[in-house]
């Protein structure tokens, strides 16, 4: 049995969890999300908590137990507080701007790169930092990863787009190898 799956999920005040036939719908102050149900997993709402249990001891049920609990917990946290990923743009002349629903990146190409933000995602730029915000954890992470792919950090000078707090392994370069 999954250690993560055994833990009950606490429902904060202002968040409503509704179990349907196809999906679990979670509504909160920031919006609403839904996560699909699995036939080998059962859900029970009791006293401001949700308990996730396996229907049987099959391999599929064991695999899905912790996953479905985590997906539901992410939905509850998303509609209550939301998620944020911060990116940092490093390089001489590199900058980022948010224009409406587009992120405009000037990162050393011959033209500025425009990245259209999907629905449900907001972005704010302050100096050389870009914050991606939303209620869906998977979508926030995916948007941040796609923006990072425009100019990933390189190991020689460290220029590029990186996550805040990410450590870039540096290389010595040509002159560093000679003695």
CA-CA distance, 82 to 31, in Å (whole number)?
Answer: 9
Of all residues in the chain, what percent carry a pLDDT higher than 90? 90
pLDDT reported for residue 3: 87
Question: For residue 177, is pLDDT > 80?
Answer: no
Query: What average pLDDT does range 169-178 have in this prediction?
Result: 78
Identify the burial level of 86 via C-beta atoms within 10 angstroms of its C-beta, where 0-12 means exposed, 13-18 middle and 19 or more buried: middle
Mean pLDDT computed over 94-120: 95
In the chain, which segments carry CATH 3.90.930.12? 3-80, 83-163
**In the predicted model, what is the mean pLDDT of residues 114-143?**
96
Instruction: Give the model confidence (pLDDT) of 126-135 as tens digits.
Output: 999 999 999 9
Using alpha carbons, select from 4, 6, 24 the residue that is nearest to residue 15. 24
Residue 142: CB atoms within 10 A of its CB come to 15
Assigned token pair, 151: 């100019």
Domain 3-80 has what CATH class?
Answer: alpha beta
pLDDT at 173 (0 to 100): 82
Residue 57 — left, alpha, or beta (φ > 0 → left; ψ -120 to 50 → alpha)?
alpha
Rounded Cα distance, 48 and 10, in Å: 6
Phi, psi of 104 (to 5 degrees): -105, 120
Q: In this predicted model, which residue has the larger pLDDT, 163 or 5?
A: 163
pLDDT at 172 (0 to 100): 87
User: Rounded to two decimals, what is the model's pTM?
Assistant: 0.89
Helix axes 137-148, 59-80, angle to 10 degrees: 80
For residues 31-56, give the mean pLDDT: 94
Given the candidates 3.40.190.10, 3.90.930.12, 1.20.80.10, 3.30.70.270, the CATH classification of the domain at 83-163 is 3.90.930.12
pLDDT band at 179 (very low <50, low <70, confident <90, very high): low
- Is the pLDDT assigned to residue 2 strictly greater than 90? no
pLDDT at position 106:
95
| Contact between residue 64 and residue 38 where contact means Cβ atoms under 8 Å apart | yes
Average pLDDT for the chain:
93
Residue by residue, DSSP assigns 76-123 as HHHHHT-EEEEEEEESTT-EEEEETTEEEEESSSSS-EEEEPPTTEEE
């Amino acid at each position: 049995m999954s250690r993560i799956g055994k833990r009950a999920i606490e429902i904060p005040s202002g968040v409503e969890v509704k179990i349907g036939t196809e999906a679990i719908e979670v509504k909160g102050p920031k919006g609403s999300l839904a996560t699909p149900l699995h036939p080998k997993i059962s859900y029970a709402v009791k006293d401001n908590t949700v308990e996730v249990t396996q229907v049987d001891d099959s391999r599929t049920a064991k695999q899905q137990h912790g996953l479905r609990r985590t997906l539901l917990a992410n939905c509850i946290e998303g509609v209550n507080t939301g998620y944020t990923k911060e990116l940092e743009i490093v390089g001489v002349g590199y900058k980022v701007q948010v224009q409406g629903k587009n992120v405009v990146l000037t990162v050393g190409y011959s033209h500025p790169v425009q990245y259209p933000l999907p629905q449900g995602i907001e972005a704010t730029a302050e100096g050389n930092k870009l914050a991606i915000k939303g209620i869906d954890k998977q979508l926030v992470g995916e948007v941040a990863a796609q923006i990072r792919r425009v100019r990933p950090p390189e190991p020689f000078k460290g220029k590029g787009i990186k996550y805040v707090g990410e450590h870039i392994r540096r290389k010595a370069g040509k002159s560093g190898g000679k003695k």
